[in-house]
Every structure is written in structure tokens, then in C-alpha cells.
Amino acid sequence: MNNPSAESTRPQIVVLGTGGTIAGTATGDPSLPGYTAGVLSVDALLQGIPALSRLARIHTEQVANLDSKDMDFAVWTQLAERVAHWLAQPHIAACVISHGTDTLEETAYFLQLVHRTNKPVVLTAAMRPATALDADGPQNLLDAVRVAVQPQSRGLGVVCVLHGRVHSARDVTKASTHRMDAFTSGERGPLGEVDGDSLRLWRQPAAEPGAPFAIPAAEAWPRVEIVLNHAGADGALVRCLVANPALHPALRGLVIAGTGGGTVHQQLQAALLWAEQQGVRVQIASRVGPLRGGAEDGLNAVKLRVRLLLELGACRA
């Protein structure tokens, strides 16, 4: 028999599904690596984790069901809108999102930059599909809910919970294609860890200058591309991108993944100066690791692109 008193005291959260390996199923022997991502619904994932019911009263919604390598602006916009919708409900304490690992860090940072409340938003994922003999998704989902319901999660912004660790959206990045513990927060390290039903925090996340940003309208997402500096980088790709009249929308920003401390080949540097004269905004990251200083402190190239997309979108709005 249900206990009405216990039912009323448990926090209410929403779990939004977007697909990924965590919702994948094996195409053959479950002990082998072959699988299809984004097959199972979020409801199916949660049914296999009965311990969730003692932590929270859970609402679910399937926002998408795709392999996260195929993430796009339309899904980002829909996901951000649904997060905002649910967190605006007084009875909803937090939001958990199941996602694929490939673009997890981009989605998390996008949501961080548009997030407008103190309520927690927690992303999680898995390195092995749901039908694997040693699937990591159920534990990661359970840990994500554990973090979401903790009072000290308020004000952390958007975090990612994977393999028992809590990472900030700004710092987290995928560092392995096969390890279960595939994500890192670099030199800064994770924000904390899951300890049973508790959350142990070691530090607070860095501030996000300029946030929250508005989400660009569907037709107003600017085009921002990433170019890698390398031996022999002569700038031809930059010149083609800037001068190509067939691009729609036209190029408005470039993120350069430079060598060392963000250095670029002298010929590429000349092309970038020319691109800026044509009205293209240029930002420099490093292919080695995050640079330090300013709003871009600690951002890799893909996250710097996310910030530039929103900055340029705001300029156009």
C-alpha cells in the first residue's frame, strides 16, 4: 500500500529523453559492441530502475530519439523550450536529460548559456547500450536523479553526471571512445561526486559572462564553422568559406582550433585578418586544451562555437 505522506514529500522532477547510446539496443550478441542508438523510450529506460521511485515522483517526456552525432539546432531549441516549460512549473524541482555521449558537452553548454532559473538541470548518458550485459545507463540515470533532488544542486546551473562524477557544463568533455569513465573536466576537475544518495561538492562552477542568452529564432541561427590549424594550413579553406555565395546562411563566425596556446600558421593568420575585414567574427581556441582568460576561459573549440552562435544570434535579434 502506498504511503500518501511519503508520496507528498518526495520532490517532483521531469526526465526528458533525447536518445543516444543510453537508449540504444544491440543489433546482435549483447556482449559485442554493435548497437543502434536512440531506440528505447525514456519510459522504457526508467522502468528498469525501480530505486528511482523512492527518490522522486517522476514525469517524463520524449523530446527526441536520435544518435547524438546527429544533434541539430531544431532539437536544441525544442529541448531548451521544454526544459524552460517544466522548470516554470512550481511543483517541478529539477530536470534530468538522457543524452548521447558524442555531443553531450555541446548540448550541456548550450543549455547552460540559456538556463534562467536556479533549479538543477542534470544531463547523463552511457557508453554502452541499454541491452548490454554491463550497461552503465541505469546507474548513471539513478545518480543523475540523486543529484537533481539534492538541495545543494540549486544554483549549480547545468551539470553532467557520469560514472559517479558531477561535471560542470563549461568544463566537461568526452576524452575516451571506449572507457566507461569517458568524461573529464580537465585541470579544474569535477564539481563533485555522488556518494550513495548524497552529493559531495568540491567546488562551484565558474560564472558565464553575458548569460543567459536568448535562443535564436529558427531561421536566425548564424553559421559558425570550426577550422583546425595544422602544418601547411594556408588559409584557403577560410577564404572559400567567406567568399562562397552558395552558403545559406552566410558565414558569420569562425572558431579556430589553434596549435599550442592558440597559435595559427602565418598564412592562415593572414586569411583570418582578411575574414574579419569582411565582417566575420573570429575566435581562437586550442586543439591542445582550453585557453585561459576572458569569457572564453576554459572553453574548447566546440564550446566556443556554441557561445559564438548565441552571441551572434543575440546581435541579429
Residue whose C-alpha cell is 547545468: 158
Amino acid at 120: P
Is 21 among the catalytic positions? yes
Residue 210: which residues within 8 A CB-CB, separation 6 or more?
295, 311
Rounded Cα distance between 122 and 13, Å, is 11
Residue whose C-alpha cell is 536568448: 214
Q: What is the CA radius of gyration of the chain?
A: 20
Rounded Cα distance between 298 and 187, Å, is 9
Out of 21, 103, 107, 173, which one is annotated catalytic?
21
First-to-last C-alpha distance (Å) of the chain:
54
Amino acid at 97: I
Amino acid at 41: S
Coil/strand/helix, residue 243: helix
Known catalytic residues are: 21
